Amino acid sequence: MSIGNSPEDDRPSLGHALQQARIAAGLTVEEVSSSTRVRIPIVHAIEADDFSRCGGDVYARGHIRMLAQAVRLDPDPLIAQFDAEHGGRPAPTPAAPLFEAERIRSEPRRPNWTAAMVAAIVAVVGFVGFTLFNGDDDSGTAQVAEGSTPDRTTPEPTATKPADPKPVPSESAIAAAPRDKVTVKLSATEGKSWISAKDHNGRLLFDGLLLQGDSKTFQDKERVDLVLGDAGAIELFVNGKKVDDRFEPGQVERLSYTKGDPEVG
């Protein structure tokens, strides 16, 4: 008994069918590429039944559909032939896992309202503190920030107010600096500068902007630590004595002074 060829054996390959339809339609590879946006090398590869350049089965099916429509063929039988020759279509992903994955991804995007509230509170407290310090400077009264709690059994020495105040402390101001404390005065003479001052316990005495012409004075029984954002704009007096200006404009300085400075500084 002789065995003849089945109809499927006589069917042209997928790529050959697309090539024959393109030639029958009177189209060149360049024209098909231009109308489908499929690159010329990929069109040649598909017509030679080489789908490795498509970038995967999903892209191959899309190219086959576009090429078939361009040469006036029904794409569905060609895509079915491709699936039969390449292992068939992948099973669809269940909807529930997709929904669960999307739900899990969306959770980290929730706004952190707690962090936002904390940041807002810190900003308000900083603004109020900065406003209070500026208000004290505008009153015309010398303001001294005490670092440690003073001994209430010992009367505080009273500073002698000069008869004729000047921007730079005079000899009377030097004599008035208490010997049992460290006194630091900062004056912004060459511009504005951000400054920070802490006492020997690390407690913040001031943190803010010192505008040109403004002054701040700080006292502590042991030590005053400073950070100057623009040290070149600041004139510095420690325990009533002027510290030589060794700072360049824009230079950031971290300084620390005690009761014996500036002689031992």
Instruction: Give the pLDDT confidence score for residue 147 in this predicted structure.
Output: 55
- Burial-class residue 84 by CB neighbours within 10 Å (0-12, 13-18, 19+): exposed
- Residue 115 resides in a domain: no
To the question of pTM greater than 0.75 for the whole model, the response is no
- Is residue 177 domain-shared with residue 252, that is, in the same domain? yes
Instruction: Give the pLDDT confidence score for residue 16 in this predicted structure.
Output: 92
Cα-to-chain-centroid distance, residue 130: 26
- Is residue 142 domain-shared with residue 41, that is, in the same domain? no
CATH of the domain at 45: 1.10.260.40
Task: Output the CA–CA distances (angstroms, integers) from residue 225 to 105, 198, 218, 243, in the order listed.
Answer: 48, 5, 10, 15
- Is residue 152 domain-shared with residue 245, that is, in the same domain? yes
Predicted confidence (pLDDT) at residue 221 exceeds the cutoff of 60: yes
Predicted confidence (pLDDT) at residue 188 exceeds the cutoff of 60: yes
Predicted confidence (pLDDT) at residue 167 exceeds the cutoff of 70: no
- Is residue 150 domain-shared with residue 228, that is, in the same domain? yes
> Of the candidates 201, 166, 199, 194, which has an alpha carbon nearest to the alpha carbon of residue 182?
199
Question: Could you write out the DSSP letters of every residue in 49-118?
Answer: T--GGGTSHHHHHHHHHHHHHHTT--HHHHHHHHHHHTT-PPPPPPHHHHHHHHHHHHGGGS--HHHHHH
* Helix (H) and strand (E) counts in the chain: 9, 9
Predicted confidence (pLDDT) at residue 261 exceeds the cutoff of 50: yes
- Is residue 33 domain-shared with residue 143, that is, in the same domain? no
Q: Provide the mean pLDDT of the chain.
A: 77
- As a residue count, the chain comes to 265
Instruction: Give the pLDDT confidence score for residue 235 in this predicted structure.
Output: 87
pLDDT-based confidence at 36, cuts 50/70/90? very high
- Is residue 42 domain-shared with residue 152, that is, in the same domain? no
Rounded to 5 degrees, what are φ and ψ at 248? -90, 150
Distance between CA 26 and CA 173 in Å, rounded?
Answer: 103
Exposure string (b/e) for 237-249, b if CB count within 10 Å is 16 or more?
Answer: bbbbeebeeebee
- Is residue 63 domain-shared with residue 144, that is, in the same domain? no
Predicted confidence (pLDDT) at residue 199 exceeds the cutoff of 80: yes
Instruction: Give the pLDDT confidence score for residue 61 in this predicted structure.
Output: 94
Domain total of the chain: 2
- Is residue 167 domain-shared with residue 244, that is, in the same domain? yes
In the listed set 85, 100, 123, which residue is the last one of a domain according to the structure?
85
Instruction: Give the pLDDT confidence score for residue 169 in this predicted structure.
Output: 46
- Residue 78 resides in a domain: yes
| Structural domain boundaries, residue 42 | 7-85
What pLDDT, in 10s, does the model give residues 169-179?
A: 444 444 457 88
- Residue 119 resides in a domain: no
- Residue 265 resides in a domain: no
- Is residue 43 domain-shared with residue 148, that is, in the same domain? no
| Residue with more model confidence, 99 or 147 | 147
- Residue 113 resides in a domain: no
- Residue 167 resides in a domain: yes
The single residue listed with the structure tokens 């971290």 is 254
- Residue 146 resides in a domain: yes
- Residue 64 resides in a domain: yes
- Is residue 156 domain-shared with residue 251, that is, in the same domain? yes
What pLDDT, in 10s, does the model give residues 125-141?
A: 777 777 666 655 544 44
Torsion of CA 93, 95, 99, 102, to 10 degrees: 30
In the listed set 42, 68, 85, which residue is the last one of a domain according to the structure?
85
